[in-house]
């Protein structure tokens, strides 16, 4: 959550920053008023507590002096003040809960580098890459054989069975089969191997406690998009960012440990609430998908380099796979709740003739660390870490783009050279022969 001390110290600065994200000044004034009231009530409760303590001391003195009448009078006063203290404490707790509830819904302050804008239409394209670009080649043109949507390519090759997935779990739960399943597994193994030089591989649980989901900012803001197991107070994770952010929840790290880097491949679950039939064909928008995540705890000074490293790794994977992509700098109005800055990578998929988001690389400042209470100890004292994370990569749309771009005129799909060792040397996905 945002730094309440900063809001007290620089209310106009915070309000101006959040206005870039559409947060009204009036709402922030309400929060400021709640904070003032909370501190006033807290001071009153503390004053009453001190008064009860003093009256108790006086009762003790009166009893030691065998002044029963005074002791009884003071005891009655203590009971009355104690009741007022109880009421004051209840008021403190009520206002504190309201204040926290409001703060949990306030997004992070966008960084100064984040462009202004209202929604995805205002995002800025930074650059593009495609195979052969460095040698002067133009952006690729795609033949008719590459313009077939991946769901039709997959049907020909018998590598994706959307009907079976729907029968088992409902629509938008894909079922991969045969070489399609092997291709998905190869992508994950390939990416994890690329990151093992600097990132510790983690295999976290696929479910998380409410407190864990709160730490990243997915709750309460995005509750409608999460899968809940209410009986057990568990949620299916929407990304490995959730468990990785809470790996050191409540800990104080040594500055020498930072940056602390981790990677994980997990299944990710999203209800896609509000999609209302939009982009629901094939693998464009699904309820379950596999993704490799990169994550780092770091100091504020280390954060830019950590962000750049994750972005570079995600781009490198796309280049090794030979997929044309573009880099988007997200505007303030399109940032996720917890993000201060986000850069997206989108791959061009000729079969559906559109750009598909396959990675978001985000810097959260100390927004998530405040929720998770992850701090580090330096010569300047104890302070919250910064968190950075990004997808490298999300596989459903990568899988879709690969089978479209690499489709050959004979209907087979060429396997990128970097993936062939993970498929036993196989070079193509071919139409099954009877």
Q: DSSP letters of 310-362?
A: HHHHHHHHHHHHT--EEEEE--GGGS-TT-SEEEEEEEEETTTTEEEEEEEEE
Beta bridge partners, 228, equal: 235
> What secondary structure does DSSP assign to 290-312, as a single string?
EEEEEEEEE-TTTHHHHHHHHHH
Indicate if the alpha-carbon torsion angle 187, 189, 195, 200 is positive or negative: positive
Active site residue 182: no
Nearest CA to 348 out of 43, 129, 124, 83 is that of 129
Catalytic residue among 370, 397, 404, 407: 397
Known catalytic residue: 285?
yes
The three-point CA angle 97-241-174 to 5° equals: 115
* Packed helices 179-195 and 303-321: angle between N→C axes, nearest 10 degrees: 140
Catalytic annotation, pick one of 285, 313, 371, 407: 285
Q: How far apart are CA 337 and CA 368, in angstroms?
A: 10
Q: Which of 360, 365, 371, 391 is catalytic?
A: 360
| Catalytic choice (44, 156, 255, 357) | 357
The answer to whether the beta carbons of residues 429 and 328 sit under 8 Å apart is no
Asked about 365 being catalytic, the answer comes back as no
User: Which of 20, 21, 182, 270 is flagged as catalytic?
Assistant: 270
Cα–Cα distance for residue pair 343/127, rounded to 1 Å: 11
| Catalytic residue IDs | 270, 285, 357, 360, 397
């Amino acid at each position: 959550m945002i730094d309440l001390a900063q809001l007290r110290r620089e209310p106009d600065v915070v309000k101006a920053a959040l206005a870039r994200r559409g947060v009204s000044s009036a709402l922030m004034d309400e929060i400021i008023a709640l904070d003032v009231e909370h501190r006033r009530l807290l001071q009153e409760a503390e004053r009453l507590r001190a008064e009860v303590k003093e009256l108790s001391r006086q009762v003790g003195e009166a009893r030691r002096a065998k002044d029963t009448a005074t002791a009884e009078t003071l005891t009655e006063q203590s009971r009355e003040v104690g009741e007022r203290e109880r009421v004051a404490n209840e008021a403190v707790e009520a206002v504190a809960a309201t204040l926290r509830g409001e703060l949990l819904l306030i997004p992070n302050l966008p960084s100064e580098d984040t462009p202004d804008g209202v929604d995805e239409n205002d995002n800025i394209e930074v650059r593009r890459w495609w195979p052969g670009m460095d040698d002067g080649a133009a952006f690729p043109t795609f033949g008719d054989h590459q313009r077939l949507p991946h769901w039709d390519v997959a049907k020909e090759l018998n590598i994706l069975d959307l009907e079976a997935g729907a029968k088992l779990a409902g629509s938008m739960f894909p079922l991969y089969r045969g070489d399609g399943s092997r291709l998905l597994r190869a992508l994950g193994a390939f990416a994890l191997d690329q990151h093992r030089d600097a990132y510790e591989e983690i295999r976290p649980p696929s479910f998380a406690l409410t407190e864990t989901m709160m730490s990243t900012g997915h709750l309460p803001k995005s509750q409608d998009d999460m899968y809940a197991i209410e009986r057990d107070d568990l949620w299916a994770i929407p990304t490995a960012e959730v468990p990785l952010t809470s790996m050191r929840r409540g800990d104080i790290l040594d500055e020498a440990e930072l940056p602390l880097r981790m990677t994980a491949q997990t299944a990710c679950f999203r209800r896609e609430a509000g999609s209302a039939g939009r982009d629901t064909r094939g693998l464009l928008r699904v309820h379950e998908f596999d993704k490799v995540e990169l994550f780092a705890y770091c100091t504020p000074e280390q954060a830019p380099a950590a962000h750049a490293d994750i972005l570079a790794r995600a781009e490198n994977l796309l280049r090794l796979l030979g997929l044309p992509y573009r880099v988007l700098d997200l505007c303030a109005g399109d940032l996720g709740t917890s993000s201060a800055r986000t850069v997206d990578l989108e791959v061009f998929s000729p079969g559906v003739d559109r750009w598909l988001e396959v990675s978001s690389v985000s810097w959260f400042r100390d927004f998530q660390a405040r929720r998770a209470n992850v701090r580090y100890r330096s010569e300047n004292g104890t302070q919250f870490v910064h968190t950075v994370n990004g997808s490298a990569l999300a596989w459903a749309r990568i899988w879709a783009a690969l089978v479209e771009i690499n489709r050959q005129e004979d209907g087979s799909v060429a396997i990128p050279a970097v993936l062939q060792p993970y498929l036993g040397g196989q070079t193509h996905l071919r139409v099954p022969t009877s």
